Amino acid sequence: MSSTTLSLKAVSRRFKDTIALDSLDLDVAQGELVSLLGPSGCGKTTALRIIAGLDQPNSGQVFVGGENISHLPPNKRNMGMVFQSYSLFPNLTAAENVAFGLTMRGEPKRLRVQRSQELLELVGLPKHSKRYPHQLSGGQQQRVALARALAFEPDVLLLDEPLSALDAQVRANLRDEIRALQIKTGTTTIFVTHDQEEAMAMSDRVAVMNQGKISQIAKPDDLYHRPANQFVAGFVGQMNRIPARVNGTELLIAQSTATVHPLSEVNSGEGLALVRPENVVIQSLKGQQVEGNAVVISRAFLGPISKIVMRLEDGSEVSSVMTSAQSTEFLSGDSVRVSVTPGEYLLVEA
């Protein structure tokens, strides 16, 4: 496979008065899939387009395999790109679409036909080669788009929210297929999305972006359990904000003791502790000699797990997740005792 490394060095981009990218640095290893995750306007799509050459930065450079490609136009960068939707050429069949990159490179017809068939099989559409885009469903179109982007063995694969326009079920299936294909071909890939579940499920590393900068870039695991700052903590996964108080070396959260995470903004006095729902423990009061400190408000069934929302004595709301089987014992209106598992928690301003 011809894949290589990708680097962005101090890339900045400004539109009129807004700063889209603020001196962005990014290093992607060969064969790695890195997601750019963030809210609208964080700059992730801008970054992708700059990598592709569809947009020019105000300053900074883009390197592929160690070479500075910043001045190359998009058609010379050897990158495959998949757009959000409707990017297949309507006047060409699926096979012709897939072969397009090879056609542009002047490859002989026999090779084009063979390769295009190969890739259509790879994306699970072997019998659709003669169909036109308007005869394909959304999911099928995106698969053809993916095949088209990979057909000429690009150095880098760029995906701009390719699943956003699809139905939930199609999205989930395609997500796994894209990842499997990416691993199989070993292509260095950048995946832009606003859906953190998608990013976490697919990526080797996730770069959480905010206002033109990378807030944190780490493996999904690290991002989730060891968020480097408040933005990441709040953006990735669900997070409870529970009133807490520092007492000497201890952190008192809902009457349970824990410790303050060293990276916290707040180290003393009162604040809000950032607690993951899975670290919130609910104890039924039945037959126990403990006092309740919360009331169950609602229960959301999410399939394998369920989420229980409770109101603490001071009025704040807390959610906890557990297996659905476990959750059945807690009914709306029940008095319960809430505590947090021991450990370090980020403390932020109240």
Binding site for other proteins (CB under 8 A): 52-54, 73-81, 83, 85-92, 100-101, 103-105, 132, 134, 145, 148-149, 152, 158
- Distances in whole angstroms, Cα of residue 309 to Cα of each of 119, 126, 282, 297, 298: 47, 48, 10, 6, 5
Closest approach of other proteins to the CB of residue 156, in Å: 10
For the chain, how many residues are written? 350
For residues 56 and 69, give the distance between their C-alpha atoms in angstroms, rounded to a whole number: 12
**Distance between start and end Cα atoms, the chain:** 52
Nearer to other proteins, 106 or 333 (CB): 106
Closest approach of other proteins to the CB of residue 100, in Å: 5
CB contact burial 88-97 (16+ within 10 A = b; e otherwise)? beeebbbbbb
For residues 114 and 98, give the distance between their C-alpha atoms in angstroms, rounded to a whole number: 11
Mapping DSSP to helix (H, G, I), strand (E, B) and coil, where does residue 148 land? helix
Closest approach of other proteins to the CB of residue 92, in Å: 8
For residues 13 and 47, give the distance between their C-alpha atoms in angstroms, rounded to a whole number: 9
Closest approach of other proteins to the CB of residue 12, in Å: 21
Nearer to other proteins, 162 or 220 (CB): 162
Nearer to other proteins, 96 or 334 (CB): 96
Nearer to other proteins, 17 or 349 (CB): 17
Closest approach of other proteins to the CB of residue 105, in Å: 6
Nearer to other proteins, 103 or 316 (CB): 103
**The amino acid at 167:** D
